[in-house]
Structure 1
Amino acid sequence: MKRALTLLSCTAALMLASAPLLAGGSIAAGKTKATTCFACHGVDGNAVDPQYPRLAGQYDEYLQQALHEYKDGRRNNPIMKGMAATLSNQDIEDIAAYFSSLPTKLDTLKGHIQGD
């Protein structure tokens, strides 16, 4: 009995500790929240204008980090700072989930690096 209670306690502790790791954004909610992003980055996340990054297929965590950095000023881009300023943490998770779920059309960096 004592062993079963110990095992149950350990399982509960692991579940509670891993909950933030399992939490994530909603792709469907992200698509709705990302509508203002589409003008520059495209509905499919594959911007055709080389001055705007392609977001499709990027790592979810990278997209979240970038949005947080625009929001708090660690990245200095006036347009993105304004766009990210009103986003909640959940908004950022959802938008990152949406763009990271999309297939990328970027197979090479040729023509996508300044100076190319």
Structure 2
Amino acid sequence: MNKRIALLAAPLALAVCLPVHAAGDANAGKTKAATCQACHGPDGNSVDPQYPRLAGQYADYLVQALKDYKSGARNNPIMKGFAAGLSEQDMEDLAAYFSRQRGLVVPEAPKTVQP
């Protein structure tokens, strides 16, 4: 009987020990994105080419980028300063918000008129 309990308890113990992946809250991310708007635009679609467009990016990519700025793995002093104060949940929330925004739509090339 003890073997059965041990076999049932082992997967449960493992599940409890695994890290929990925090889900981002897009509504909270919208509020937290206020400081991002100056460079990246209100919805993450910057009109200035020196600032990346965040809208429509994968959430996990955005979270990783923020973590990299915070750790210094990505070298940008401005973003490092912004990311320094972000918690894991803040990053998840921001990523949830920007990933749900409509990204850049590339217009079709103009059609040439044949004479």
Partner of 1:20: 20
Distance in structure 2 (CA, Å) of the matches to 1:76 and 1:93: 21
Corresponding residue pairs, total: 106
Partner of 2:66: 67
Which string of whole-angstrom CA distances, capped at 9 and with x for unpartnered residues, describes residues 36-69 of structure 1?
A: 0000001111000000000000000000000000
Partner of 1:100: 99
Q: Look up the SS of the partner of 1:34 in the other structure.
A: helix
Which string of whole-angstrom CA distances, capped at 9 and with x for unpartnered residues, describes residues 4-47 of structure 1?
A: x9xx87996797578824x3110010011110000000111100
> Which structure has the larger Rg over C-alpha atoms?
2
Q: Which runs of 5+ in 1 are unaligned?
A: 109-116
Which string of whole-angstrom CA distances, capped at 9 and with x for unpartnered residues, describes residues 64-108 of structure 1?
A: 000000001000101101110110111111011110011112438
Higher helix share: 1
Distance in structure 2 (CA, Å) of the matches to 1:100 and 1:13: 34
TM-score (norm 2): 0.76
Distance in structure 2 (CA, Å) of the matches to 1:33 and 1:66: 17
Aligned-pair identity in percent equals: 60
Distance in structure 2 (CA, Å) of the matches to 1:57 and 1:77: 22
Distance in structure 1 (CA, Å) of the matches to 2:76 and 2:44: 19
Name the Cα RMSD after superposition.
2.5
Partner of 1:113: none
Distance in structure 1 (CA, Å) of the matches to 2:105 and 2:49: 11
Partner of 1:84: 83
Q: Look up the SS of the partner of 2:66 in the other structure.
A: helix
TM-score (norm 1): 0.75
Asked if residue 54 in structure 1 is aligned to residue 53 in structure 2, the reply is yes
Distance in structure 1 (CA, Å) of the matches to 2:13 and 2:106: 43
